[in-house]
Amino acid sequence: MPRRLTTGIASVALALLGVLGVASPAAAVTTAEKVAVLSSWTQTSATSYNAWNSARLDKAPWSAYAFDWSTDYCSSSPDNPLGFTFDRSCQRHDFGYRNYKAVGLFSANKARVDSAFYADLKRSCATYSTVVRPACYSLAWTYYQAVSIFGSTAAVQQSDIDRAARMKADAERHTTTHP
């Protein structure tokens, strides 16, 4: 088949696809584009957290980025110690660690991902009554220190959770005896 005819058929086929509204395959996502999105989703702000959480709930638009959404939540530490909700903070932390490791930029971003984790934990604690909030903040600090120093909340000791439990119980007891 002559080259001119082959080129003409290809042009007609592309035009027909455009008229019919059939999308062409999306361009591959570059590493730079992936890192830019990853960076925007691992900042300390609530806006960054909310953008990540929206994407987590609707992953389809982000499939070309091939993000690793897997998580073990707070590793071997309680996901929701003493009833404080830490699981989503741990999930975003896992997201940051796993995806920065995948693109080879973990060490350059670990401190920021850990700081975002701590900010997420504190935002979670802020939703609890002022009576028990100090116990939550104490656990948040302990979880942050574990990831900051050891890279995992698995380093959280039962004694740390017990200390926060005593703080919480004392605070709750104080409010029932002194309204």
Helix axes 46-57, 87-102, angle to 10 degrees: 80
Domains of the chain and any CATH numbers? 27-177 (1.20.90.10)
pLDDT of 152: 81
pLDDT of 173: 86
Cα separation of 105 and 34, whole Å? 12
| List of residues 6+ apart from 42 with CB closer than 8 A | 48, 52, 92, 95, 96, 100, 109, 112, 113, 116
Burial of 44 (0-12, 13-18, 19+ CB in 10 A): middle
How does DSSP classify residue 103? T
Q: Taking Cα atoms as reference points, which of 147, 126, 113, 144 lies closest to residue 43?
A: 113
pLDDT of 26: 59
Residue 174 bears catalytic tag: no
Residues 34, 93, 133, 168: which is the catalytic one? 93
pLDDT beneath 50: ranges in the chain: 3, 5-25
pLDDT of 124: 98
| List of residues 6+ apart from 55 with CB closer than 8 A | 41, 61, 62
89-121 per-position pLDDT tens digit: 999 999 999 999 999 999 999 999 999 999 999
| List of residues 6+ apart from 53 with CB closer than 8 A | 88, 92
